[in-house]
């Protein structure tokens, strides 16, 4: 069951064009997708694991077809990686709900699916008493509009290791 779902997510992500890929970053492997989906299935908000970073993923299906994928990481006293320390100037332990990837099939965009995922993220984050954080490429107006419409605030600009202009967003 989860194997089939991982395959469907992989197929979905293969519909991304080069512009989408610029915004999304690297495609996850089937194994990563499988682990993300499984971690979400086992997610218990009353008993969150004390692993420092738990990657999870959720899907959206219409008529049994997977049309959206969203992945995120729950941080629990995570130490910043050397990269996070350098690029994002993060000194202390990280304790937030981090939105990693969001993708909606090109034929199913502008129907509110992306917004639904963001609302679900905010609800999950609130349920475990964490702030929601997202690092978005500065020209990704679609995504930025969605976040602002949901009450996210721009925190600061930063430059990624491969020279992309990024904006960090957060939601209280
Ligand atoms: C960003 C992305 C996930 C948005 O998904 P989406 O399902 O199209 O998002 P929504 O439908 O919620 O919102 C998109 C637009 O539709 C509008 N919209 C929302 N609900 C709507 C509805 N019911 N009817 C019509 N339009 C609607 C929104 O206002 C928004 O318009 P805007 O661009 O003028 O602000 C999608 O474009 C995508 O997969 N992009 C490529 C990957 C990417 O950039 N990911 C984000 C970084 S990780």
As a whole number of angstroms, the distance between CA 145 and CA 60 comes to 21
For residue 108, is pLDDT > 70? yes
As a whole number of angstroms, the distance between CA 138 and CA 4 comes to 34
Q: What is the pTM of this model?
A: 0.93
- Shortest-distance Cα residue to atom 35 of ligand 1: 145
Which numbered atom of ligand 1 lies nearest the CA of 140? 44
Indicate the top mutation candidate among 14, 61, 146, 169 to test ligand 1's pocket, ranked by most ligand atoms within 8 A of CB: 146
Mind listing the domains of the chain with CATH numbers?
A: 2-171 (3.40.630.30)
Which numbered atom of ligand 1 lies nearest the CA of 145? 35
Per-residue confidence (pLDDT) for residue 84, from 0 to 100: 79
Distances (CA, A) of 154 to 1, 36, 145, 157, 168: 39, 27, 11, 8, 6
- Shortest-distance Cα residue to atom 22 of ligand 1: 111
Which numbered atom of ligand 1 lies nearest the CA of 105? 39
Q: Tell me the per-residue pLDDT of 49-88, one tens digit each, with 9 for 90 and over.
A: 889 999 999 999 999 999 999 999 999 989 888 777 776 7
């Amino acid at each position: 069951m989860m194997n089939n779902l991982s395959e469907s997510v992989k197929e979905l992500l293969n519909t991304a064009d080069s512009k989408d890929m610029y915004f999304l970053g690297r495609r996850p492997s089937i194994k990563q997708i499988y682990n993300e989906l499984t971690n979400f299935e086992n997610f218990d908000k009353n008993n969150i694991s004390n692993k420092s970073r738990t990657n999870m993923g959720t899907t959206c299906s219409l008529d049994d077809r997977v049309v959206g994928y969203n992945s995120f990481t729950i941080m629990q006293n995570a130490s910043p990686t050397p990269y996070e320390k350098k690029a994002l100037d993060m000194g202390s332990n990280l304790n937030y709900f981090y939105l990693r990837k969001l993708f909606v099939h090109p034929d199913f965009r502008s129907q509110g699916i992306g917004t639904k995922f963001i609302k679900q993220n905010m609800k999950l984050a609130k349920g475990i008493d964490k702030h929601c954080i997202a690092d978005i490429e500065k020209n990704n107006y679609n995504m930025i509009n969605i976040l602002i419409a949901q009450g996210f605030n721009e925190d600061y600009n930063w430059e990624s290791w491969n020279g992309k202009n990024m904006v960090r967003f957060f939601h209280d």
